[in-house]
Structure 1
Amino acid sequence: MSRDIDVLVLGGAGVDTIVYVPALPLPYADSYMIDSGIRTRAGQTGDFVAVGLGALGLNTHHLDFLGDDPEGDLVRALHRDRGIALTAVPQPAGTKRAVNLVGPDARRLSLYDTSRAHPDDRLPPDTLRPLAEASRHVHVSITHPCAHALPLLRGTGATLSTDLHDWDGENPYHEPFALAADVVFLSAAALTDPEHTLRDIAARGRADVVVATAGAEGAYLLTDDELTHIPPVAPPAPVIDSNGAGDAFAAAFLFGRLTGEPPHRCALYGAVAGAHACTVRSTETDAITRDALLARVGSAR
């Protein structure tokens, strides 16, 4: 079977409205003057992973629901401009959207509009199966339709990854994703015992690699039953925004994995890409390139 697509990114397409606020949590007031502007741009988790993979030279395809609306047009334009193939399943409820409040310390609070989906949304098997079968790897966003796609994906022979984001290690919604993937990413932000959660995922699921990112503290990598702390990488410019750092980490880690690098080097790739993302304002989309990644990895040794 020919697998011409390096990575199929499943789900996570949408738009974010970015608001830089003077503090988080935001104290109540009748109004705030937002001098930096309130801006809507294409890009949610799947979009950012796809853009990151494309910037690193991997042949990437993105599949998700999109509405016939201005927000959907922004997502289509992002993929067209970045040369990323996009298959959009029509979504009558409209394109997914969110509002991200970003504080002066680069932290983010996201407000997700859950009205842009239906409980019975399913990715069409006749669309999904041939794309997955043509892919070396599938990165799965934790959206409702993607959960229903997991059994089909496991039968295609492609390896799987997922990002559980700020999972607390207990919410049952995330478990099907955690247990079906070969590579699992998550944030340590809501974990009381990161090592326990990583080992639990590996013990009960299929993952041979589990990674918990920990912001300025670096990351934790579990592979071959060994837990390793991955130190943070100094950003190449001032940190202004943490939006997209986890997606950048995942994209660079997968780049390393698909080019034959061992897990610890993949994690270093992820740390470098995540640090780069923290220097980019949320209103922009500027993924690290392959040349820049490899150069910064060389200098980070």
Structure 2
Amino acid sequence: MEQRTDVLVLGGAGVDTIVHVPELPLPYADSYMIRPGIETRAGQSGDFVAVGLHCLGLRTHHLDMVGDDHEGELVRALHRDRGIPLTEMPAPGGTKRAVNLVGPDGRRLSLYDADRARDSDRFDEPTVRALASAARHAHVVITQPCGAALPVLREAGVSLSTDLHDWDGANPYHESFALQADIVFLSSAALADPERTMRDITARGRARIVVATAGAEGAYLLYDGELTHTPAVTPHAPVVDSNGAGDAFASGFLFGRLRGEHPRRAALYGAVAGAYACTVPSTRTDAIGREDLLAQVAQVASPASEAV
């Protein structure tokens, strides 16, 4: 089949309610006056990756289960306004939603509504197969319907990436994603020994590339058995919110790889995209554009990374 899509994004469509708090952790109090206010907008992990890839000029298609509710309308509007194709299937429990508490330093605490997911949630297999067959690559979010779709994606022959977020290296739910993807992203935040976890993923799974992001410390790349470090990139504007930085990193990295860049160079693409995301207020769903990304990568490219 003709490849009409560069990246098929599965899962992670939803809505966040943003609450700015005076500090994290938030001390107990009967009430707080919130400024600059409380705002609800579409944009969870899959949405952010799709927007990031689209802003970088990649043909992007998003597939997820979306509810017949107000939150679903916000998700549809986001994709419609951005011009990103969305294939949706009914979500019996409703559209995924969360509350993000955002501190003055940009850190966040996310509270996800677990009642929105059902163990029986599934994508229509013929639809997954058709969309995957038309794509160069598929990025799989670790939300409920996506795990069951992994065998279908593998059968379609499309390369896979996934983001395990703050996996502790032990939770079995994440393992099927970690071991079936060709490129694995994860945060080092909950890992006692990030290198050991990264090497375990490559030893037991399919991945040749594992990237562990470490916030202000940059990111660690394991490729062909060699662990290298990519320093964090200094943003060109003040840091206001870390929400979506990991998704932006993944988008930038995938953009680099689909351009044929070496994984070390792709990690620099990711670092630049992630730094930009930290300058975007959590109430917006913006991402760096192709020209800006390439210009900033050229500016900071030497040295792109260093051996650990």
- The answer for the alignment partner of 1:38 in structure 2 is 38
Q: Which of structure 1's runs of 4+ aligned residues deviate more than 6 A? A: none
User: 2:155 & 2:177 partners in 1: Cα distance?
Assistant: 15
Kindly, what percent of the aligned residue pairs are identical?
Answer: 73
- The answer for the alignment partner of 1:142 in structure 2 is 142
User: What's the CA shift string for 1:83-115, capped at 9, x where partnerless?
Assistant: 100001011321100000011121110000011
1:121 Cα deviation after fit? 0.7
- The answer for the alignment partner of 1:23 in structure 2 is 23
1:12 Cα deviation after fit? 0.2
After TM superposition, the structure 1 = structure 2 runs for residues 1-301 of structure 1, keeping only pairs within 5 Å, are 1-301=1-301
User: What's the CA shift string for 1:142-180, capped at 9, x where partnerless?
Assistant: 012111111111110100000000001111110000000
User: 1:273 & 1:2 partners in 2: Cα distance?
Assistant: 29
Give the letter aligned to residue 121 of structure 1: D
User: 1:2 & 1:227 partners in 2: Cα distance?
Assistant: 36
User: 2:30 & 2:13 partners in 1: Cα distance?
Assistant: 33
User: What's the CA shift string for 1:233-291, capped at 9, x where partnerless?
Assistant: 00111111000000000001000111111100100000000000000111011100000
User: 2:286 & 2:111 partners in 1: Cα distance?
Assistant: 23
User: 1:292 & 1:257 partners in 2: Cα distance?
Assistant: 18
1:5 Cα deviation after fit? 0.6
Give the letter aligned to residue 75 of structure 1: V
Give the letter aligned to residue 3 of structure 1: Q
TM, length-normalised to structure 1: 0.99
Give the letter aligned to residue 67 of structure 2: G
TM, length-normalised to structure 2: 0.97
Give the letter aligned to residue 31 of structure 1: S
Name structure 1 gaps, 5 residues minimum.
Answer: none
- The answer for the alignment partner of 2:305 in structure 1 is none
Give the letter aligned to residue 147 of structure 1: G
SS at match of 2:279: coil
SS at match of 2:115: coil
User: 1:2 & 1:263 partners in 2: Cα distance?
Assistant: 26
User: 2:10 & 2:36 partners in 1: Cα distance?
Assistant: 33
User: 2:103 & 2:184 partners in 1: Cα distance?
Assistant: 28
SS at match of 1:40: strand
User: 1:127 & 1:280 partners in 2: Cα distance?
Assistant: 34
SS at match of 1:110: strand
User: 2:272 & 2:284 partners in 1: Cα distance?
Assistant: 18
User: 2:142 & 2:238 partners in 1: Cα distance?
Assistant: 31
User: 2:90 & 2:280 partners in 1: Cα distance?
Assistant: 31
1:2 Cα deviation after fit? 1.4
User: 2:81 & 2:165 partners in 1: Cα distance?
Assistant: 27
SS at match of 1:212: strand
Give the letter aligned to residue 300 of structure 2: A
Give the letter aligned to residue 38 of structure 2: I
SS at match of 1:294: helix
User: 1:178 & 1:152 partners in 2: Cα distance?
Assistant: 16
SS at match of 2:156: coil
User: What's the CA shift string for 1:208-238, capped at 9, x where partnerless?
Assistant: 1000000000000000100001111001111
User: 1:205 & 1:92 partners in 2: Cα distance?
Assistant: 33
Name structure 2 gaps, 5 residues minimum.
Answer: 302-308
